[in-house]
Structure 1
Amino acid sequence: MASFKKLKSGWRYRLKYTDPFTQQQKEKSEAGFRTKPEAELAAAEFLKQLKQGFEQTDIPLVDYIRSWIDNYKKGVVRKNTIKQHENNLNTHIKPYFKRLMLKDLKPDMYQVFLDSLFKKGLSKRTVEIINSTVYSAMEHALIQGKVLRNPCKGSIIKGEHKKKTIQFIDSEDIPKFLHTARGDGYIYWIFFKVLIETGLRKGEAAALKWSDINFKEKTIRVDETLDFQAGDEDELFGDTKTGNSTRTISVSNGIINDLRYHASWQNQNKINLGESMYRHDLNLVLCRNDGSPMPKSSLFNASKRILRKAGLSEDLTIHSLRHTYAVIMLEAGADIKFVQEQLGHGSVQITSDVYAHISKKLEKRNIDKYEEYTSRIFGSENQKPGDVWGTQPQ
């Protein structure tokens, strides 16, 4: 039963109820209504929500998102997605909202949060990713009856998507890069050569096991990625970036021969090191001398060092070797669908969008090839009419 009282600030209602979820006796009061009928209407609405299963227990927003990640996302989505949600929570959401209660998040307040991310210099894509964490968590809170509406709905993510500049090593500079890498260290040479000849991401390459290499069929199975930041060996290997990233790719005779040599080199290295000192359990293809995973920092430093020695731009990243592979394939005339499947992109459109910057170069190449081809077909028929007939048309 509700009671009502007129205060200086307006009418107030107060009522006692049993929380249907916790079965605990609680009290609810709200003030500031202009008239008693308004207070009565608000009290009736509250009781209606209670009967519909609207949970009254409130918790801080960041605690709810943490619980949502732990209880509803882990074991359901990929490990990389979990890490992304956690990074969004710890880096952006928690520092901004602090201890704001879940039910206190309002649409205008959330819009200000999104705008603040742009003011920090984050790209539109990054803000979209952060928004996806809060939006999805609030959708779940709505399903659970913890909130009446999703305050993220209707928000606007401003700004424009920045056009990515795809970095890659020009084909004429690849021999120089690999020659310099060989002088810097065999392990780095084989690692970077595999990236250039397969288009694998560095985490995919670092997770390759010898059982993934089919020397007879000249294929490589890609179904794991190495987590360079894993604190526990049980978490060392994880899923590939997306479902489409799990794939089997075809490779050239050249890289197969390189891997055959590498297998012999690695076996000799095991003997020199001593069987007991080698990490046979990991069975890694691209690893340190003792069979343990390649550290991310070592690869990063080696890449910068090799680029500098080779006289190439140090702005090139290890990921640019994946782009290098794709550009070489496209320049060589490979079908865009084949390149998409080799890279593990979700669609041809993604591949086309990423490498649109070389489309003009490819168009010119295709026209040149067409002209060369048709000149062989038509022969003298490609001469100007005036050269054949000796006069201009009347």
Structure 2
Amino acid sequence: MTVDIGRDPVTNKRKQKELSGFKTKREAEKAAAALITEIEEGTFVQEKNVTFKEFVNTWIETYSSTVKVSTLRVRKHESGRLMKYFEHKKMKDITKKMYQDALNDLQNPEGKKKGLSYNTISGVHSTGRMIFSKAVELDIIKNDPTQYAKLPRAQKTVEEIEQEEEVPKYLEKEQLAKFLNTAKRKGLGQDYVIFLILAYSGMRAGELCALRWSDLDEDEHTISITKTYYNPSNRTREYQLLTPKTKTSKRKIDMDPFVFEELKQHRKKQKEIMMKYRSTYHDKGFVIAKTDALNAGYPEFIKTIENRMRRLLKLAGLNEKLTPHSLRHTHTSLLAEAGVGLTEIMERLGHKDDDTTRHVYMHVTKTMKKEASQKFAELMRSL
């Protein structure tokens, strides 16, 4: 059965749609009537013969002009996970069941012991929704197959549940003091000032690598966080400075004058390096800059900071699984122990909302409340 669907706006020729595959004449007439109703109401969409791969490539090209390069990299990676299911399929042929089956397979892949985590699949689904939503908007497809998709959840073991409840690892104040003392005595190059800043500010490693001397106010003893370091290839000269992770990440941190005294000493040493390599020094004002002849002045790698921390933790006899990010958790715990409120802590860390920070805070304050109760009971027993 053939139905007129209007005229081509360019050639003015009549366009028709062929309806086929029906078991009875009544089914065909019913489908034709529904199609005619859509045409009359202006809701008809002539779906295009575009493959998933073709559309994603076009979408990525458009999307790239609206987001940071780091976000684009994530979207490319996540859309790539859907490619193995839909790469050569036409967008209009991808059904709700096919899309749900893809999500389910990511969580429980055939022939493999373990699939992707819930958070990773959630990210893939977010990208999938963006892709198909845009396809609907552009009249490539009529219906969005992601609309009613459910994220699969694996049945967790008792051990996994217990691990989830575990408080993120951080250093107690005595351990932090030991770590910083080890960095001062046995640290390589700039280790001490790196970890002193991270410990006393709670900033991210990427924010530290992007820090410039112009971000420091020596009179007010504050550090302004306005950017973050991005270098996925770990090629010294291919770094980028991006806007902060979130809107709340842009902030000003009050620092102890003691840290600024150490920074003054650090700057003197840095100026000596600048003089030594003055003809090749990458003079962009980075606080934590490389010191070797070939790359002097370029911002330090985040990976280098991670490796240096592991070395110092081992020398100090502390948990070697801790990372620079663990110092943010440490900062949270010590602020909570000092009586600083959760809202103030989140502002200092540049968080609008964060379950991990809240988890650490609640763990520390719960212990403090228990101690307060014990002290009261001891007081009453002494009467």
Aligned length in residues = 362
CA distance in 1, matches of 2:254, 2:341: 14
**How far apart are residue 286 of structure 1 and its match?**
1.0
CA shift in 2, pair 1:240/1:32, >3 Å: same
Contact 2:52 2:90 in 1 (8 A): yes
Of 127, 133, 137, 1:139 maps to 133
Deviations for 1:230-252, whole angstroms, at most 9, x for unmatched residues? Answer: 56967611121111111111111
Residues in 2 aligned to 1:242 and 1:86: alpha-carbon distance in whole angstroms: 20
Q: Take 1:102 and 1:74, find their aligned partners in 2: how far apart are those partners?
A: 21
The structure 1 residue matched to 2:151, chosen from 146, 154, 157, is 157
Q: Is the 2:4–2:14 contact (alpha carbons within 8 Å) kept by the matching residues of 1?
A: no
Unpaired runs of at least 5, structure 2: 109-113, 155-160
Is the CA contact (8 Å cut-off) linking 2:51 and 2:89 kept in structure 1?
yes
TM-score, structure 2 as length reference: 0.83
2:124 matched residue in structure 1:
130
> Which of 353, 370, 382 is the equivalent residue of 1:364?
370
Give the equivalent residue in structure 2 for 1:88. 78
| Mapping of residues 210-359 of structure 1, within 5 Å | 210-229=213-232, 236-271=240-275, 273-280=276-283, 282-289=284-291, 290-347=296-353, 351-353=357-359, 355-359=361-365
53, 71, 77: which one pairs with 1:62? Answer: 53
Conserved? CA contact 2:187–2:312, under 8 Å: yes
Alignment partner of 1:112 is 2:101: yes
Match of 2:158 in 1: none
Contact 2:107–2:118 (8 Å) recurs in 1: yes
Match of 2:212 in 1: 209
TM-score normalised by the chain length of structure 1: 0.81
The verdict on how the C-alpha distance between 1:350 and 1:358 changes in structure 2, with shifts beyond 3 A counting, is: same
Q: CA deviation at 1:348?
A: 7.4
CA contact (8 A) 1:62 1:93 kept: no
Report the alpha carbon displacement of residue 16 of structure 1 after superposing the two structures with TM: 8.4
Question: For the Cα contact (< 8 Å) 2:336–2:361, is it kept in 1?
Answer: no
Aligned-partner Cα distance in 2 for 1:357–1:121? 31
What code does the residue aligned with 1:187 have? Q
Corresponding residue SS for 2:211 = coil
Contact 2:70 2:230 survives alignment (8 Å): no
Taking only the aligned residue pairs, the percentage that are identical comes to 28
* 3-state SS in 1 of match to 2:21: strand
Native 8 Å contact 2:48 2:92 kept in 1: no
Q: How far apart in 1 are the matches of 2:46 and 2:165?
A: 45
Q: Point out the structure with max Rg over C-alpha.
A: 1
Closer/same/farther in 2, CA of residues 223 and 124 from structure 1, 3 Å limit: same
Higher alpha-carbon deviation: 282-291 or 15-24:
15-24
Q: Deviations over 1:297-334 (max 9, x none)?
A: 32232222222222112211221111111111111211
Deviation of 1:164 (Å): 6.4
Q: Deviations over 1:318-360 (max 9, x none)?
A: 2111111111111121122111100111137774245433342
CA contact (8 A) 1:19 1:56 kept: no
Are residues 93 and 323 of structure 1, via their aligned partners in 2, closer, same or farther at CA, if it must alter by over 3 Å?
same
1:177 is aligned, of 176, 179, 203, to 179
Q: Secondary structure in 2 aligned to 1:220?
A: strand
Q: Secondary structure at the match of 1:226?
A: strand
Flag the 1:58–1:181 CA change in 2: closer, same or farther, 3 A.
Answer: farther
Deviation per CA, 1:360-384, whole angstroms, max 9, x where unpaired?
Answer: 2232345468789xx7xxxxxx677
